[in-house]
């Protein structure tokens, strides 16, 4: 049976190693998926590296200069902005409506795609009815803010924007939010609608829209529709409709109408956005793992009990040595010079052995019978130093443990109060400096207070803990062997 037990132990170890490898692989893959999703979501925001290509008035002040953006992508036909939202993107137009579904403004493959004008519309926005498409990103990027227009308050407070085209600028006013599907011919049959009277479209929207704002459409010459997907339905769509009115004149950039917060950092882009910070969560985990290290909890906190045990043993040994020294002094004081002179060598040796005999219950140390009083005093001084260092180390562990518990509590409270994990994921925010500081303090506390830096322990004492571990493992093996024997005996009884 020993052969089976040996094979079983080897198999258990192999299984443990494979499990650890699988767990590590899953952890790494999960981290990659999180990073990939984060990177994909963040790259969808209109960041400043893209904003620098936003068209500005040309020298003749009659047209906008699209030269810069068209160097990036010659398919660029406009730029749409809805103030106080994340909608602030260049518009492209492909050969068909599938070209830019998974291709970004730079022409690279991307799940976020680009904001694009329907291929059925005129690229110079000469049609009266125009549809612009964009993906709905859960973090609010691209057209991810459009579904917020179902809320009346949001609808009423985010109605203004602008459309920039090579032929001029338009003021946009959102007047309707429609929730429909991809097969709604009343809004998606562009070839039929772009030349239809806009009054008919407005009537349909007034009856069927989630939100509708009554306004005078008698002078409406152009409608711009921004369409995106609805989360709860594969074919679901949400569209906001804007009344587009040409600006009277194109003015230079610093005088033109722009969003109230046009100089803001785009929400959700890397830092400073409205979302929960990944670095803050990592700091919380670091602080927690500092208090409770996954693979060395026992090792970290058993040194407290081990150190306390050893300094108590050292104190007992110090008392023993003090007692021996005291007894030797008393013996020397009680013996007269004549008695000492008359003693034979054998009697003197017996007397020394009696003086050096340890107290009951204490194992004799070989040095007690051989070392001179000078060496005994040195041993006592060394043990006193060790005992003092160990007592100081035990107190440091207590202080460190309390400190780390307080840090964990503070970190968790700060994270719960300042972060909302229902919002988009970002790298850092205004609280990251505090969380990083707490993590650094936790690591310093662990390094300073949980590391023994006193006098080096004797080798036999350093190995005590390893011997205890071996004894515990041996006891566990014996228990397993007994259990196996009982099982075999039961099987034999049943067979009999």
pLDDT < 50 positions in the chain: 249-273, 359-362, 366-371, 476, 480, 482-484, 486-496
**Per-residue pLDDT tens digits for 82-105:** 999 989 999 999 999 888 988 888
| Residues 239 and 188 sit within 8 Å (Cβ to Cβ) | no
Task: Give exposure, 333-347, as e/b (b: 16+ Cβ within 10 Å).
Answer: eeeeeeeeeeeeeee
CA distances for 199 relative to 194, 215, 217, 382, angstroms: 12, 12, 7, 100
Q: How far apart are CA 201 and CA 222, in angstroms?
A: 11
Question: Could you tell me how many residues make up the chain?
Answer: 496
Residue 159: what pLDDT? 92
Residue 406: what pLDDT? 94
Question: DSSP per residue over 114-141, as a string?
Answer: --EE-TTS-TTS-SSEEEEE--B-TTS-
- What is this structure's pTM? 0.50
**Per-residue pLDDT tens digits for 142-155:** 898 998 999 999 99
Q: What are phi and psi of 142, to 5 degrees?
A: 55, -125
Residue 337: what pLDDT? 58
Task: Give exposure, 81-101, as e/b (b: 16+ Cβ within 10 Å).
Answer: bbbbbbbbbbbbbbeebebbb
CA nearest neighbour of 312 among 387, 404, 262, 370: 387
User: β-pairing, 129-133 with 211-212?
Assistant: unpaired
Residue 496: what pLDDT? 33
**Per-residue pLDDT tens digits for 447-462:** 898 888 888 777 655 5
Strand partners, 90: 79
Residue 438: what pLDDT? 92
Residue 219: what pLDDT? 72
Residue 432's CB is within 10 A of a number of other CB atoms, namely: 19
Q: How far apart are CA 119 and CA 131, in angstroms?
A: 9
Q: How far apart are CA 421 and CA 282, in angstroms?
A: 13
**Per-residue pLDDT tens digits for 150-173:** 999 999 999 999 999 988 889 999
| Residues 177 and 155 sit within 8 Å (Cβ to Cβ) | yes
Place of tokens 């459409």: 217
Residue 315: what pLDDT? 87
Alpha-carbon torsion (75, 81, 86, 87), positive or negative = negative
Q: How far apart are CA 419 and CA 435, in angstroms?
A: 12
């Amino acid at each position: 049976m020993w052969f089976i037990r040996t094979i079983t132990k080897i198999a258990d170890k192999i299984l443990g190693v494979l499990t650890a490898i699988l767990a590590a692989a899953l952890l790494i893959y999960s981290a990659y998926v999180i990073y990939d999703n984060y990177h994909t979501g963040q790259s969808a925001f209109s960041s400043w590296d893209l904003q620098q290509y936003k068209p500005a008035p040309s020298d003749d002040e009659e047209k906008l200069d699209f030269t810069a953006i068209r160097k990036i992508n010659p398919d660029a036909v406009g730029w749409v902005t809805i103030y106080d939202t994340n909608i602030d993107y260049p518009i492209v137009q492909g050969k068909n409506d599938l070209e830019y579904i998974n291709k970004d403004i730079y022409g690279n493959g991307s799940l976020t795609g680009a904001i694009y004008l329907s291929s059925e519309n005129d690229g110079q926005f000469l049609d009266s009815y125009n549809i612009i498409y964009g993906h709905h990103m859960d973090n609010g990027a691209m057209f991810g803010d459009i579904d917020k227009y179902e809320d009346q308050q949001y609808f009423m407070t985010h109605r203004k924007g602008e459309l920039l085209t090579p032929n001029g600028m338009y003021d946009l006013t959102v007047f309707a939010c429609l929730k429909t599907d991809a097969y709604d011919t009343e809004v998606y049959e562009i070839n039929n609608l772009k030349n239809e009277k806009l009054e008919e479209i407005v009537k349909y929207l007034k009856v069927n829209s989630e939100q509708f704002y009554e306004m005078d459409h008698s002078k409406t010459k152009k409608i711009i529709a921004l369409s995106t997907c609805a989360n709860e339905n594969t074919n679901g769509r949400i569209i906001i409709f804007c009344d587009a009115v040409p600006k009277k004149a194109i003015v230079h950039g610093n005088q033109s109408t722009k969003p109230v917060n046009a100089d803001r950092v785009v929400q959700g882009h890397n830092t400073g956005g409205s979302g929960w910070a990944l670095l803050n969560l990592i700091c919380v985990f670091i602080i927690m793992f500092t208090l409770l290290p996954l693979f060395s909890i026992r090792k970290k906190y058993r040194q407290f009990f081990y150190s306390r045990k050893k300094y108590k043993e050292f104190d007992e040994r110090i008392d023993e040595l003090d007692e021996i020294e005291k007894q030797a002094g008393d013996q020397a004081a009680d013996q007269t010079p004549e008695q000492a002179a008359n003693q034979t060598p054998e009697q003197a040796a017996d007397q020394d052995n009696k003086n050096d005999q340890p107290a009951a219950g204490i194992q004799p140390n070989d040095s007690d019978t051989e070392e001179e009083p000078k060496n005994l005093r040195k041993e006592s001084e060394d043990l006193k130093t060790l005992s003092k260092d160990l007592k100081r180390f035990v107190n440091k562990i207590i202080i460190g443990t309390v400190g780390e518990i307080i840090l964990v509590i503070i970190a968790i409270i700060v994270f719960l109060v300042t972060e909302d994990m229902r919002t988009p994921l970002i790298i850092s925010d205004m609280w990251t400096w505090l969380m990083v500081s707490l993590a650094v303090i936790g690591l310093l506390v662990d390094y300073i207070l949980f590391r023994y830096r006193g006098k080096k322990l004797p080798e036999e004492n350093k190995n005590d803990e390893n011997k205890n571990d071996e004894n515990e493992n041996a006891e566990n093996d014996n228990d397993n062997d007994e259990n196996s024997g009982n099982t075999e005996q039961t099987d034999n009884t049943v067979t009999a």
